[in-house]
């Protein structure tokens, strides 16, 4: 701006001083409001603090670091420090723990707010988050919010993944995965474990073994997610340990189709690893369960002693059917696997399963794997034929070896 004389206008000392004074007054007012807010927090009891957290979450969700600093007059860290201290003091009994964790999450998730994460960790926040997962008092929602904060920490980089694992994070997470009743919480844990299992070479085997430990648990949701994550990690881990065999075959007893499906998918992945033969031997053995385990229970339809007795499939029969199904799918995908199964006398085991009148699923999946009028033939077997099948001692590898020198045609009904 120029005056009529042509000279460049410069603000006078008085104007500059006035502008500085106004800025200073505004800053002082903002600082005063911050101090009032912090004092209000410091003096508030549990109910009042809960209300403050509600307002904070509503007003500041998804804000960036500059936004939060503007909101708190460059003093956002002062409020974060108070939240972290209160978390450390009350996490064992707090009734508004999820609100507190969500409030801290606003800082940790703020774009450009890496320093908030550093400050939280320096105050011992990570150990508290992991301890929340171990306690019985916190609710499923509380623990889920803790997992979300751990995910924010892990996403920051390899060093932070290692920090979680160093502090027994894998044990805490896998235990929560196995015991949680919330499908949403279990999914959050699975995502975090998958994150910890990648780009974390120092602890990836610990994560892998932790997931194996989840497989015998009673939660089908946890079993399915653990199986899927093991499959995702297989390329990173390399050779599968022998300790994996028994738990994977064990989950074939599950009555939940989604668990069996996840187990079969993992078995397919493992066929390219050294553990393949051990797995195939285990699958073939499951086709002929021990007789004392395979005695089906009996329940009366009503109190009439002359009424029909319904047989209920026992877990070994469910496992037998799942093994037959897995064998069929594995053999279908690889001729090499199919040949190895034949050498392991799989045909005898499938014939035994096909003769199991107590469990139609065993008959169906075994017959499908045998590829002989698979969809319908088992429905026409009478008890005498079923007994004959169950006692069959066919030795396909031996028969094939004896026929090899003759160069003759393949015997009718032989399985390929």
Task: Render pLDDT for 190-233 as a digit per residue (tens, 0 to 9).
Answer: 999 999 999 999 999 999 999 999 999 999 999 999 999 999 99
CA dist 169 and 184 (Å) reads 19
Contact 306/247 with Cβ under 8 angstroms? no
The count of residues in the chain is 416
Within 10 angstroms of residue 80's Cβ, the number of other Cβ atoms is 24
Helix pair 220-237, 169-179: axis angle to 10 deg? 140
Q: Is the dihedral of CA 392, 398, 402, 404 positive or negative?
A: positive
Quick one: pLDDT at residue 385? 52
Burial category of 263 from C-beta neighbours within 10 Å (exposed 0-12, middle 13-18, buried 19 and up): buried
pLDDT digits (tens, 9 = 90+) for 313-336: 689 999 999 999 999 999 999 999
For the chain, the maximum distance between any two Cα atoms, rounded to a whole number of angstroms, is: 121
Quick one: pLDDT at residue 371? 78
Domains of the chain, by residue range, sit at 251-293+313-391
Does residue 414 carry a pLDDT above 50? no
Beta bridge partners of residue 43, listed in sequence order: none
Quick one: pLDDT at residue 11? 57
Quick one: pLDDT at residue 377? 42
Task: Calculate the alpha carbon distances from 78 to 82, 84, 89, 97, 249 in Å.
Answer: 6, 10, 17, 20, 54
Q: How confident is the model at residue 145 (pLDDT cuts 50, 70, 90)?
A: very high
Q: Which helix (H) or strand (E) holds 201?
A: none
Task: Calculate the alpha carbon distances from 109 to 28, 65, 114, 186 in Å.
Answer: 29, 9, 9, 21
Within 10 angstroms of residue 284's Cβ, the number of other Cβ atoms is 21
Choose from 20-29, 243-252, 286-295 the range with maximum mean pLDDT.
243-252
CA dist 74 and 1 (Å) reads 34
Strands 309-312 and 297-300: antiparallel
Quote the tokens at residue 25: 């007054």
Mean pLDDT taken over the chain: 85
Task: Give the residue carrying structure tokens 């450390």.
Answer: 88
Average pLDDT over residues 61-82: 95
Q: How confident is the model at residue 384 (pLDDT cuts 50, 70, 90)?
A: low
pTM, 2 dp? 0.82
Q: How confident is the model at residue 359 (pLDDT cuts 50, 70, 90)?
A: very high
| DSSP state string for 106-139 | HHHTSTT-HHHHHHHHHTTHHHHHHHHHH-SSS-
| DSSP state string for 251-319 | GGG-S-HHHHHHHHHHHHHHTTSTTHHHHHHHHHHHTS--TTT---EEEESSS-TTS-EEEE--HHHHH
Does residue 352 carry a pLDDT above 90? yes
Average pLDDT over residues 273-281: 97
Least confident of 45-49, 241-245, 304-308: 304-308
Quote the tokens at residue 138: 């916190």
Task: Give the residue carrying structure tokens 């042509």.
Answer: 6
Strand, helix or coil at 383? helix
Q: What angle do CA 78, 81, 87 make, to 5 degrees?
A: 145
Quick one: pLDDT at residue 3? 45
Q: Rounded to the nearest 5°, which phi and psi values hold at 297?
A: -75, 170
Q: How far apart are the first and last CA of the chain?
A: 94
């Amino acid at each position: 701006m120029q005056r009529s004389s042509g000279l460049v206008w410069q603000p006078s000392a008085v104007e500059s001083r006035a502008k500085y004074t106004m800025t200073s007054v505004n800053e002082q007012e903002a600082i005063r409001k911050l101090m009032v807010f912090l004092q209000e927090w410091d003096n508030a009891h549990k109910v009042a603090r809960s209300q403050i957290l509600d307002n904070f979450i509503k007003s500041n969700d998804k804000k960036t670091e500059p936004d939060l600093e503007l909101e708190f007059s460059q003093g956002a860290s002062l409020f974060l420090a108070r939240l972290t201290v209160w978390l450390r003091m009350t996490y064992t009994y707090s009734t508004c723990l999820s609100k507190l964790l969500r409030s801290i999450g606003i800082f940790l998730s703020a774009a450009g707010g890496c320093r908030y994460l550093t400050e939280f960790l320096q105050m011992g926040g990570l150990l508290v988050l992991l301890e929340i997962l171990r306690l019985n008092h916190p609710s499923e929602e509380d623990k889920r919010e803790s997992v979300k904060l751990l995910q924010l920490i892990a996403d920051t980089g390899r060093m932070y993944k290692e920090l979680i694992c160093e502090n027994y994070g894998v044990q805490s997470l896998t235990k929560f995965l196995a015991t949680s009743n919330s499908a949403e919480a279990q999914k959050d844990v699975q995502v975090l474990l998958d994150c910890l299992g990648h780009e974390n070479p120092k602890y990836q085997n610990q994560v892998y073994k932790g997931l194996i430990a989840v497989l015998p648990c009673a939660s089908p949701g946890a079993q399915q997610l653990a199986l899927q994550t093991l499959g995702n990690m297989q390329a990173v881990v390399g050779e599968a340990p022998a300790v994996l065999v028994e738990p994977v075959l064990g989950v074939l007893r599950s009555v939940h189709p989604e668990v069996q499906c996840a187990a079969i998918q993992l078995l397919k992945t493992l066929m390219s690893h050294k553990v393949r033969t051990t797995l195939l031997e285990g699958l073939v053995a499951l086709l002929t369960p021990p007789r004392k385990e395979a005695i089906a229970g009996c329940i009366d339809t009503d109190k009439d002693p002359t009424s029909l007795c319904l047989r209920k499939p026992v877990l070994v029969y469910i496992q037998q059917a799942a093994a037959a199904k897995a064998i069929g799918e594995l053999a279908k995908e690889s001729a090499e696997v199919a040949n190895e199964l034949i050498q392991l006398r799989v045909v005898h085991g499938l014939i035994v399963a096909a003769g199991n009148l107590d469990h139609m699923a065993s008959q169906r999946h075994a017959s499908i794997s045998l590829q002989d009028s698979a969809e319908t033939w088992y429905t026409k077997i009478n008890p005498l034929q079923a007994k004959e099948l169950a006692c069959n001692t066919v030795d396909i590898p031996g028969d094939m070896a004896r026929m090899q020198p003759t160069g003759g045609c393949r015997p009718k009904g032989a399985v390929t």
